[in-house]
Structure 1
Amino acid sequence: MFHRIRRRRAAEPSELERHSHEAYMRVAGQTPPEVERMRVAQQPAEPAQMADDFLPPELRVPSHDQLDGRMMPWPWPIVLDGEVVACAGCGAYRDWLILSTRDQIWLRCRAGHQQHEARLDTAWYNRHAGPADAHHETFEDCLRHLGH
């Protein structure tokens, strides 16, 4: 018996629902007059001139796709999978330059040996790198800047 009442109530809206819907439909497309007055008051009489908000070219920072790579000093030993990474050429295990280029990570020791480190990725580099303090035209300029 109750299921018949529930079905009937679900099929037809109640009196209160009908009145609410009708009231909503009467005011649906209307805007209160206070809002219209506020819109008119806020509109400037004359459009403001557009200002060039771009930085001058000498202060702009290049985006990642405009750079050939990034590098940072890493004075500490690098431990991956429980072992200390050592240079394949001289055996150095600290004072690295970490280079990130073309989605690869390269390690460079103080002696100038470079080796690809496949266990590190660009996400690791981004987590550990600080903000760039300079941009250089050549790789050698960057090495000089970092003291290598």
Structure 2
Amino acid sequence: MFHRIRRRAQEPSEMQRQHYEAHVRLVGQVPPEVQQVRTAQQSTPEPASVVDDFLPPELRVPSHDQLDGRVMPWTQPIVLDGDMVACAECGAYRDWIIISSQGQIWVRCSQGHQQPERRLDTAWYNRHAGPADATHATFEDCLRHLGH
């Protein structure tokens, strides 16, 4: 008895045969809607018209890879790993300017002392920096703009 059941199970059922035959009939066919879209695309080879950017050049902001660096003010103390960041020269611990340049973060105190901060990275800077309100030609112009 089990021998007959195994033999029947090895042969494809009637449903499987019908499915296979329908699949063979449909393999090379393309729906008429797809064919209409293909012919419409081939019949209109005219290129799309070139449209000028919607912003005039004086309103365009350079992207971050076109800038030498970005700067933001940070008035409160910076606490990293439970330690408060302090200036190595004067001991100031608030009213910082944070500079992001070439993948490094620098902090500058109100007295003008600058030191690298290796515990901060560009991702931290990007999370905390707001949108840029101005671009400057020199670093000194940027510092003047920020009041330092």
Structure 1 ranges of 4+ moved more than 6 A: 40-46
Which residue in the other structure is 2:86 paired with? Answer: 86
Partner of 2:140: 140
| 1:106 shift after superposition | 0.5
**Aligned-pair CA distance for 1:34:** 4.8
Asked if residue 31 in structure 1 is aligned to residue 30 in structure 2, the reply is yes
> With structure 1 as the length reference, what TM-score do the two structures score?
0.79
**Equivalent position of 1:68 in the other structure:** 68
TM-score w.r.t. length of structure 2: 0.79
SS of equivalent residue, structure 1 residue 100: strand
1:28 partner letter = V
Tell me how far 1:89 sits from its aligned partner.
1.9
Map of 1:118-137 to 2, 5 A cutoff? 118-137=118-137
- Residue of structure 2 equivalent to 1:14: 13
Instruction: Give unmatched runs, 5+ long, in structure 1.
Output: none
Q: Matched residue of 2:115: which SS?
A: strand
Q: How does 1:103-122 map to 2 (within 5 A)?
A: 103-122=103-122
Deviation at 1:4, TM superposition (A): 8.6
Q: What is the one-letter code of the residue matched to 2:14?
A: E
Q: Assess, with a 3 A threshold, how the Cα gap between structure 1 residues 116 and 2 changes in structure 2: closer, same or farther.
A: farther
1:23 and 1:145, CA in 2 relative to 1: closer, same or farther beyond 3 A?
A: same
In structure 2, how many angstroms separate the alpha carbons of the residues matched to 1:94 and 1:3? 87
For the residues of structure 2 that align with 1:98 and 1:129, how far apart are their CA atoms? 10
| Structure 2, unpaired ranges of 5+ | none
> Is the alpha carbon distance of 1:29 and 1:74 closer, same or farther for their aligned partners in structure 2, counting shifts above 3 Å?
same
Gap change, CA 1:3 and 1:135, over 3 Å in 2? farther
Q: Distance in 2 between matches of 1:5 and 1:98?
A: 78
Percent identity, aligned pairs only, is 68
How far off is 1:45 after superposition? 6.7
Shift of 1:14: 2.5
Mapping of 1:40-79 within 5 angstroms?
A: 47=46, 49-54=48-53, 55-79=55-79
